[in-house]
Amino acid sequence: MEFTQSKEGSFLVLAAAGRMDTLTSPEFETKCLECLNAGEKRLVVDMSGLEYISSAGLRSILSVAKKLKASGGDIAFCALSGIVAEVFAVSGFVKLMPVFATRQEALARS
């Protein structure tokens, strides 16, 4: 999995690309915790380049969301497609997490 990060106002945008599976999802957790430790508490994950996610990825997301919440931060997701969107819908993650169609919408939230 590859990450590209950029600062947008009070948000840190992480664009994730590749596969978030059993083998790679720890990388996502590590990356998010690095951001949190660097003082970034509001994360937006742009998933337009993410081709695949499994329950291991969902568990990593859940774990990161809890840690951010405990630190007074939050995490949102945008630009999901294909199997990633399907997994988010089927698992109920769309209701559990803030999910936006576009990056602009994710950045427009308060």
Partner 1 sequence: MTSIPELRQLAMEAAQRAGLGHEVLQRVDLVLEEALANVINHAYEKTSLAVSERVVELCCATDPDGALRLTLKDWGTAFDPVAVAETAPELEASLEANLEADLDHRAPGGLGLFLIQSMSEANYARVDSANVLSLRFTAQGPL
Angstrom CA distances, 66 to 4, 15, 36, 51, 104, stand at 23, 20, 12, 24, 24
Task: Please state the closest distance from residue 15 (CB atom) to partner 1, in A.
Answer: 20
Q: How far apart are CA 104 and CA 93, in angstroms?
A: 20
List contacts with partner 1 (CB under 8 A).
21-23, 52, 54-56, 58-59, 62-63, 65-67, 69-70, 82-83, 86-87, 90-93, 95-96
Task: Please state the closest distance from residue 92 (CB atom) to partner 1, in A.
Answer: 4
* CA torsion through residues 9, 37, 33, 75, sign: negative
CB-wise, 35 or 68, nearer to partner 1? 68
Task: Please state the closest distance from residue 14 (CB atom) to partner 1, in A.
Answer: 20
